[in-house]
Structure 1
Amino acid sequence: MTAQRLTPPQARNSELRGPDFGSYAPDEVTWLLKDLSHIELEADLAVRERRIQAGTAHYAESLPIEYQPGAAYQQLFADTLDDSAQRLAHAVGVVGELIVAERHREPTLVSLARAGTPIGILLRRWLRHVHGWAAPHYTISIVRDRGIDTVALDHITDRHDPTSVVFIDGWTGKGAIQRELTAALDAYARDGGPRLADELAVLADPGFATTTFGTRDDFLIASACLNSTVSGLISRTVLNADHIGHGEFHGAKFYRHLAEHDMSNHFLDVVSAQFDVVRDAVASHVSALDAADRTPTWAGWESVEAIRAEYGLSSVNFVKPGVGETTRVLLRRVPWRVLVRDNDLPEHRHIRILAAERGVPVEVRADLAYSCMGLIKEDS
């Protein structure tokens, strides 16, 4: 017998939209988050890292002080975006067409905060531009080792057909969030919630962890280059019992003070301006995928385990594979070293700048399964 699901009270929850929360237009995304902007949650990177590694704090209970790169890096972001916009638009189009063909003709997009949010907006723009469907688009929180925000899931499934729900993220690293999502949705169904499709839709799947992807190349998605200033000025999500009560959404902060540095809507506009340019190529690519074997092999996870053992790290959580994850290590963790397959790859220019700014050694490893990996410093 299926257990009866007890839905917690939701009176304290409200849908959040820009400009009151975040810098995106109000119709582009609905944030199912509790606004914690008034609470001091930031901690020094080194202190925060020590507490997390010591097991005295979970990474989702606080926020890192967001590292703001210098002017040269900011210019590099702009150049990288211009160079990669067409490739990004192509990946968005492929994912959008796969969703319509294989998942649901009128999908409800649910982005995983926060890297999934700009990708979800781009997918919404594609679906509206090509198919005339103004998809509902929500952003919710998922936390490694803690699961997904089931209060937010209840909110969505009470309002939309559960079979239409498609979860969105930017990319897969080793596939940890895909595994977390599968486990969380299994638990949600066991507790009486509707069964939701657990497969992530991502622009890049270098971890070979999903079948709904734009590419499996480990290529740079420009939104990975920055923190909140390319994600609607919203922080990482927070799950802290001091501030999140029973029946409340997970939380996040709106960094209004960074408005002058905000590139969020510029990123969206530059990529979506390429939709008509790539439309024919997308159609040809999706047709070719019909005959391709897209079965997840989880090859990325195996390569991460090998690197973890070789470098004497106690957990795969200290190994962040792929260009997106490596960038995030350099932006908001305490990095130990960076491994690259090619020392002069143009897509790694921003990584070389960040590594130099933070004094992190870069090691060339021609045998890497990914184009690069970031290793987090482990306290001895």
Structure 2
Amino acid sequence: MEAWQSRRIDDPQPMGSYPPGDVTFLLKDISNIKLEVALDARERAIQSGTHYSEMLPQEHLPSSDYLNLYQETLELSAEKVAVSVGVVAELIRTNKGPNTVLVSLARAGTPVGILIKRYLQEIHQMNLPHYSISIIRGKGIDENALLYMLQKHPGARLQFIDGWTGKGAIRKVLTQACGKMARDYGIILDDDLAVLADPGHCTDMFGTREDFLIPSACLNSTVSGLMSRTVLRDDLIGPHDFHGSKYYKEWLDHDQSNHFIGSIVPFFNKVTKEAQEMAQSFVTHPPEISWHGLRDIQAIQTTYQMADINLIKPGVGETTRVLLRRVPWRILVDRMDNPHIRHILLLAEARGVPVEVYPGLTYSCCGLIQSVKGDAE
């Protein structure tokens, strides 16, 4: 086993539009490299075998209509998000204690990690370190980032954080990565994943299992510290580097990242009692991890004769991503009047994607990606 304590890992360069006290991105800045690919070309490449982490989707600033819907959704759901943040934060406090490092999975996990950090600061005067690192399906977690944190915080317990669950793919990657860390370095890590929403029933650390719209899922980099998705390509990322990401600082005037955080934090004091009661109920009666959502996905795969289950993206967050950066085939919804899918219907209409009701769906919606043959993200 390698003496990982002595491995030299350079400090990260400051990145992102969040205040430094909110999060440290353990990512290599590759902002000067052109990696964006048009949606259709990217879809063909992914389904022809190119790994999704080797290129970036072309991002666009949201339209005024879409931004208005985001703002409206944020106003309507801010307190609900705050409750979920509070529940998860209380569970982390109970289960892990004060010697905890918050580790959000970039980039959907980043704003959630910041909110959890802020809650623990404001309600419990706990100032936990928070890092955001890369995890990639099919390639694993950034081991240099893990070792960096463990070197900086000897004896600390890591708490992994993401925004929501879909099929549970990232949870499985995390479990595999923790097993690899044990085999390669003798490091034992908890593979529990804390999320705001767990409609897939993939974890027991969640704020809710309702498939509701977490407003940050509506936007791309402009609600994630202006950071791109993470990149892992041999010609860009060396053996001692963190995984890569771009910082779109040219969009600072359009950034919603800190406004999103600032819209949720004021509700923390109001929801503390409710959050603590819900968290205590989860401690007393631990929720079952049933992977129930996966059975829905398998049924959809059969119904629509889809060869690749990876082309089915369940849940509000994942369906939003399909419409923003993939080539969608159709959208399935549990019912057309579900208030959590208004932005989905708007995006689908804009892209000319058919929407169908799929009765009995565990999730609010699912996005089905157009097959062009091959593998998928």
* TM-score class, shorter: over 0.9
Amino acid of the structure 1 residue aligned with 2:47: Q
Amino acid of the structure 1 residue aligned with 2:259: H
Q: 2: CA distance between counterparts of 1:8 and 1:224? A: 39
Q: 2: CA distance between counterparts of 1:78 and 1:42? A: 27
Cα pair 1:111 1:137 within 8 Å, conserved: yes
Amino acid of the structure 2 residue aligned with 1:53: Q
Q: 1: CA distance between counterparts of 2:17 and 2:325? A: 21
Task: Please tell me whether residue 349 in structure 1 is matched to residue 348 in structure 2.
Answer: no
Amino acid of the structure 2 residue aligned with 1:106: N
Task: Please tell me whether residue 95 in structure 1 is matched to residue 92 in structure 2.
Answer: no
Task: Please tell me whether residue 25 in structure 1 is matched to residue 19 in structure 2.
Answer: yes
Q: 2: CA distance between counterparts of 1:54 and 1:162? A: 44
Task: Please tell me whether residue 16 in structure 1 is matched to residue 10 in structure 2.
Answer: no
Q: 2: CA distance between counterparts of 1:8 and 1:310? A: 53
- The aligned counterpart of 1:238 is 231
From 97, 111, 122, the counterpart of 1:129? 122
TM-score (structure 2 length as normaliser): 0.96
From 339, 360, 363, the counterpart of 2:356? 363
Query: How high is the sequence identity, in percent, across the aligned residues?
Result: 50
Report the more deviating stretch, 107-116 or 185-194: 185-194
Q: Over residues 276-295 of structure 1, what are the superposed CA-to-partner deviations in whole Å (9 max), with x where a residue is unaligned?
A: 11112112222322333412
Cα pair 2:327 2:370 within 8 Å, conserved: yes
- The aligned counterpart of 1:262 is 255
From 312, 322, 325, the counterpart of 2:318? 325
- The aligned counterpart of 2:44 is 50
Q: 1: CA distance between counterparts of 2:5 and 2:40? A: 39
Cα pair 2:340 2:364 within 8 Å, conserved: no
From 171, 178, 194, the counterpart of 1:185? 178
Cα pair 1:96 1:127 within 8 Å, conserved: yes
Cα pair 2:313 2:319 within 8 Å, conserved: yes
Q: Over residues 87-133 of structure 1, what are the superposed CA-to-partner deviations in whole Å (9 max), with x where a residue is unaligned?
A: 00000000000011112333210000000000000000011011111
Amino acid of the structure 2 residue aligned with 1:240: R
Q: 2: CA distance between counterparts of 1:244 and 1:287? A: 43
Cα pair 1:162 1:196 within 8 Å, conserved: no
From 206, 210, 213, the counterpart of 1:213? 206
Task: Please tell me whether residue 36 in structure 1 is matched to residue 30 in structure 2.
Answer: yes
- Deviation, structure 1 residue 9: 5.6
- The aligned counterpart of 2:288 is 295
Q: 2: CA distance between counterparts of 1:162 and 1:241? A: 32
- Deviation, structure 1 residue 8: 9.1
Amino acid of the structure 2 residue aligned with 1:292: H
Q: 2: CA distance between counterparts of 1:274 and 1:217? A: 20
Amino acid of the structure 1 residue aligned with 2:209: R
- The aligned counterpart of 2:190 is 197
Unaligned runs of 5+ in 2: none
- The aligned counterpart of 1:74 is 67
Q: 1: CA distance between counterparts of 2:144 and 2:167? A: 27
Q: 1: CA distance between counterparts of 2:300 and 2:35? A: 33
- The aligned counterpart of 1:274 is 267
* Structure-2 change in CA distance of 1:162 and 1:313 (3 Å): farther
Unaligned runs of 5+ in 1: none
Amino acid of the structure 2 residue aligned with 1:30: T
Cα pair 1:28 1:121 within 8 Å, conserved: yes
- The aligned counterpart of 1:152 is 145
Q: 1: CA distance between counterparts of 2:287 and 2:250? A: 43
- Deviation, structure 1 residue 193: 4.3
From 323, 329, 332, the counterpart of 1:336? 329
* Structure-2 change in CA distance of 1:215 and 1:162 (3 Å): farther
* Structure-2 change in CA distance of 1:184 and 1:290 (3 Å): closer
Q: 1: CA distance between counterparts of 2:42 and 2:256? A: 27
Amino acid of the structure 1 residue aligned with 2:347: L
Report the more deviating stretch, 331-340 or 282-291: 282-291
From 79, 86, 106, the counterpart of 2:79? 86
- Deviation, structure 1 residue 7: 7.4
- The aligned counterpart of 1:173 is 166
Cα pair 1:8 1:247 within 8 Å, conserved: no
- The aligned counterpart of 1:142 is 135
Q: 1: CA distance between counterparts of 2:259 and 2:342? A: 21
- The aligned counterpart of 1:252 is 245
SS at match of 1:195: coil
Q: 1: CA distance between counterparts of 2:296 and 2:185? A: 37
Report the more deviating stretch, 32-41 or 103-112: 103-112
State the Cα RMSD in Å.
1.4
- Deviation, structure 1 residue 357: 0.9
